[in-house]
Chain A
Amino acid sequence: MVGGVQVLEVPAFQLAVWRPELVLAATALLSLAPLVWPHLRLRVPVMAGLAVATGLAATGLSTGSVAPAGPHFLLDGPATLARLVVVSLALVVQLVLKPRDDRAGPMLALAALGCCLLAQAATLGGLLTAVAVTVLGGGLAAWYAGQGTSRIAAAQWLGAGGLGFGVLTFAGVLWCGVAGTLDLAAVAPALALRPSLPPLMLPILLCLGGAGLALALLTEPDRFQAGDGEGSAPVLVAWFTLAPAVALAALLQRLLASAVSAPGLTVAPTLTVAMAGILTVGGFVAASAQDRLPRRLAWAATGQTGLALLALVAAPAETVVGLPLAILMAMAPAHMGAMLLAGAPAGGRWREPQLMVLSGLLVSLAALPPLAGWRPRLDLVAALQTGDQLFGLVVVSVGSLLALVVYLRPLADLWRDLPTTTDPRDDGASTTSWAPLAPTLLAAALLAGVVGWGLGLLDLAALLP
């Protein structure tokens, strides 16, 4: 048993479980080929590679168990789910991406690989590798995808990511050095045995907090969402916002599970709740002040991330699908679908089918029943109530009310502005046509998943071995 998960000691099986990552790595490597052979066009193979990766990720789920994939990575249940979400959404982005440079697609594959590795990181080396791959892939993808403002944003991402990587390396080496182990899951219990540790942790926490603040300031979500008028850019950046968060949530769940066994060392609840409150309220308030829907959604994603952070404090870590992961997984497809539609209405005008799909996605993001968003929200509130976390309850309540304004008000405005016809000779084609097809269909597919989960027809835990 590894991490409570049954392991099959079959090397070939381990390879099969790891196949999605190998495909992603291969397609990312192949992306370098045009530098040598300019005649090659890799868009189709990259799409095919991602499609295969997604299919094989699903295949890996159905094998009945998971296995460690080398000493530096561990594929457990939450990481399996996170991988499925990350790769699936990367495929969605790939299908609508219209980059300025074809290399954006392969770099996206690289970033997806990094996120998959992040969710599975078991040692410091694995974690640093995953972060490096994610930052590099994400930054390069944004660089190749856009121009002008998007390139500035990409440069910010790379710079801030590099800074974060440096701080993480420093803090990680220090932390693991003191603990005497590079195994991330073993760090927390090891640290708990050293009561003199807290003074050392404070500068580490300050460094991490400072790096996080720098990241938030430098990356400037509104610049990311400028998109330069390119319909796919907001979707790409939305993926960069969500995918690492989902992967990180899966990783943290495993680490927290080990921290539970070390009662002297817990997630700093006061600090975490305070940060969560700032992120939640700040994100939603900033979102409510935005006129453009992509920017509104981007800031609102910050608010949702705050709620996921709150769940770190509220939720017990021994559940199979942890609450932070559940919140992000419920939010991710709805957010991506909304970005797909918000980024490029057909011919600059909304169509009724698009608005119908967008309505469902925004209602789910607002955590209204019976769509996916409300179930993790219900669990979060219940967990906060059980834990007598009054401030957390206040944060969730205020955040929920703000979310209603953020998501429902623009929806009402869009429906109100939908072109109506009073001419009986009008055949209605201008308001019922299904163009553009791809984003609407993809968003509708995401909505179907959201509805299925919300109605209880889709049980994520049942997907796990």
Chain B
Amino acid sequence: MVPAHTLSWIVLLPLGGALAIFWLPPQRREAIKTVALCTAALPLIQSLVLLFRFDAASTAFQFVEHYTWAPVFGFEYFVGLDGLSLPLLVMSTLLCFLALLTAWSVEERVKGFFALALVLETGVLGALCALDTALLWVFWELVLVSLFFMVSLWGGAEGRRAGRQFLMLTQAGALAMFLALLALQQHTVDPLTSGPTFNLVLQLDQANHDLWLSGTSARHWIFTGLALGCGVLIPIFPLHVWQPRLHRSAPMAVAMLAAAVVAKLGFYGLLRMAWPILPDAAAWARPVLMALGAIAAVYGGLAALGRRDVAVVLGYGSFSLLGLALVGVGSFTLAGAQGAGQLLVTHGLVFGMLYAAAGGLLDRKGHLDLERWGGLYRSAPALGALLTLGLLAAWGMPGLALYPGVAMIVAGVLSSHPAVALACALGLLLAAAWTSRVVVRICLGEPSEDLGDVPAVRGRELGVLLPLAILLVGLGVYPRLLADLIATTLAGLVRVVGG
């Protein structure tokens, strides 16, 4: 039996932690970090409890909490989890906790940084749990604003530009999504109040059974609004322009949150709202989305090959793999959808690990220039080994976490869209190339003379990297751990979307 209001506790505890941090004096940095870490640990523990209590065979939403909030508004506090949101929730709580550990070396404005990180965590968790689209949008905005401040304030001069670019693009997308959600609200009737409602469950039901706006282009426009809002966050090519600058300027913990956690919100929005509510519009947009995913897979790989800054390389590598996920989602096949579902979770774990390792490199020498690193195997073999493991996973090596998802996506599109499958394969080839380049440059060879001694791996770094490494291997060897969780929900989604 799960304690009452567990989901609300999971969502709101980080916010409570942020408020608690506010009252601490700013010079008590260790206390601030400890409070933040303990606060982030609680949702992680609770989400694991939910994981073990979850009924994977059911397609219904579980652990539901439903309260009226502003009835005149059609606005409710309605939260719940299913096979799609639960794995993402667990992944997000884990990565937020590990990101705070990674950020332990932050010494400037510690209070603000950790408070904002907790607020961002609240936004992410709330968006994943929300079953009221207005509530989802509120949490969505919380994420965007928190990330903007984290990039602007801790990213230096380039961070300011990156933050502005991020804010304008994501807010433009959020505005488009907002208009789409309003349109959905106005066409969904709450049977109890006979008024419009933001209730997602009712929208899922009425949009397809009552066929409102059928035969009109309105459904396409609404889908476009949702896709824009979600796409800019993923990011979908060519809406990705904010990403390289952000990864170059932001602290590694922030880049880790952006790539591994926040990007998944975009996919979640597509799978939770756009696809099931408007499956005909999704079918209409499928060729474009698959094409954009394929372009991202190739373009991201090529761009990653040509960069010197490890953070930017990882950013483009992440972008490339998320292009693959978009192809899988757009394929409307069971294999493609399940592959994408697995890829979303494992991508987060892989790139969480990679950014954390990059953070360790940055802490040691203050830069991430590939040309100036080398010999990590000699100087810090444990860190080098863990970094290599993460890079091999990012390549999609069999036996590691990313492989099952990637393989299913390629298999899912091979028969129906061979050109797209070819592009995906090319993207994987390029992934092998850029990951190999990073391993060779950083880990092999002799250490650069200007580097001097590189400290061995720290306990904190092991605390971040080792659990992720175990998960990468575990989910690679036994992918059913994840597949069984998401299978039922995604199968239902494919049935709705596939018609």
Please give the residue numbers on chain A whose beta carbons come within 8 Å of chain B beta carbons, in ascending order: 352, 356, 363, 368-370, 375, 378, 381-382, 385-386, 393, 397, 400-401, 404-405, 408-409, 411-412, 415-416, 418, 420-424, 426-428, 431-432, 456, 461
Do the beta carbons of A382 and B138 come within 8 Å of each other? Answer: no
- Interface with A: B94-102, B160-168, B456-464, which one? B160-168
Number of B interface residues, CB 8 Å? Answer: 37
Do the beta carbons of B138 and A369 come within 8 Å of each other? Answer: yes
Do the beta carbons of B141 and A368 come within 8 Å of each other? Answer: yes
- From DSSP, what is the main secondary structure of chain B's interface residues? helix
- How far, in angstroms, from A393 to B182 measured CA to CA in the complex? 12
Given A368-B145, A381-B179 in contact, is the A432-B138 Cβ separation under 8 Å? no
Q: Within the complex, what minimum Cβ distance (angstroms) separates A344 from chain B?
A: 23
- How far, in angstroms, from A432 to B163 measured CA to CA in the complex? 27
Contacts of A427 in B (CB 8 A): 25, 27
- How far, in angstroms, from A416 to B152 measured CA to CA in the complex? 8
Contacts of A456 in B (CB 8 A): 69-70, 73, 75
Given A368-B145, A382-B182, A456-B70 in contact, is the A405-B138 Cβ separation under 8 Å? no
Decide yes or no whether B109 CB sits under 8 A from chain A: yes
Within the complex, which residue of B73, B137, B153, B182 is in contact with A375, where a contact is CB–CB below 8 Å? B73
A368: nearest chain-B partner, CB-CB: B141
Do the beta carbons of A415 and B112 come within 8 Å of each other? Answer: yes
Given A368-B141, A456-B75 in contact, is the A432-B22 Cβ separation under 8 Å? no
- Interface with A: B170-178, B207-215, B286-294, B400-408, which one? B170-178
Bitwise, B130-157 to A at CB < 8 A (1) or not (0) is: 0000100110011001001100110000
Decide yes or no whether B371 CB sits under 8 A from chain A: no
Contacts of A356 in B (CB 8 A): 22
Q: Within the complex, what minimum Cβ distance (angstroms) separates A73 from chain B?
A: 30
8 A–B pairs (Cβ distance < 8 Å), ordered by A:
A368-B141, A401-B175, A420-B26, A420-B108, A421-B27, A424-B27, A431-B26, A456-B73
- How far, in angstroms, from A234 to B107 measured CA to CA in the complex? 37
Please give me the 6 A-B residue pairs with the lowest Cβ-Cβ distance, nearest first.
Answer: A369-B138, A456-B70, A412-B152, A428-B25, A428-B27, A428-B26
- How far, in angstroms, from A400 to B160 measured CA to CA in the complex? 20
Do the beta carbons of A412 and B163 come within 8 Å of each other? Answer: yes
Do the beta carbons of A408 and B73 come within 8 Å of each other? Answer: no
Decide yes or no whether B186 CB sits under 8 A from chain A: yes
Given A401-B168, A404-B168, 14 new contacts (CB under 8 A)? A352-B26, A368-B141, A368-B145, A369-B138, A378-B73, A378-B182, A385-B186, A386-B186, A405-B167, A405-B168, A409-B164, A412-B148, A412-B163, A456-B70
Contacts of B22 in A (CB 8 A): 356
Q: Within the complex, what minimum Cβ distance (angstroms) separates B237 from chain A?
A: 22
B185: nearest chain-A partner, CB-CB: A382
- How far, in angstroms, from A431 to B110 measured CA to CA in the complex? 13
Within the complex, which residue of B27, B107, B137, B179 is in contact with A426, where a contact is CB–CB below 8 Å? B27
B144: nearest chain-A partner, CB-CB: A368
A396: nearest chain-B partner, CB-CB: B175
Decide yes or no whether B183 CB sits under 8 A from chain A: yes
Do the beta carbons of B175 and A400 come within 8 Å of each other? Answer: yes
Do the beta carbons of B167 and A408 come within 8 Å of each other? Answer: yes
User: Which of B22, B108, B175 counts the most A-chain CB atoms under 10 A from its CB?
Assistant: B175
Contacts of B70 in A (CB 8 A): 456
Q: Within the complex, what minimum Cβ distance (angstroms) separates A249 from chain B?
A: 20
A411: nearest chain-B partner, CB-CB: B149
Given A368-B145, A412-B153 in contact, is the A381-B178 Cβ separation under 8 Å? yes
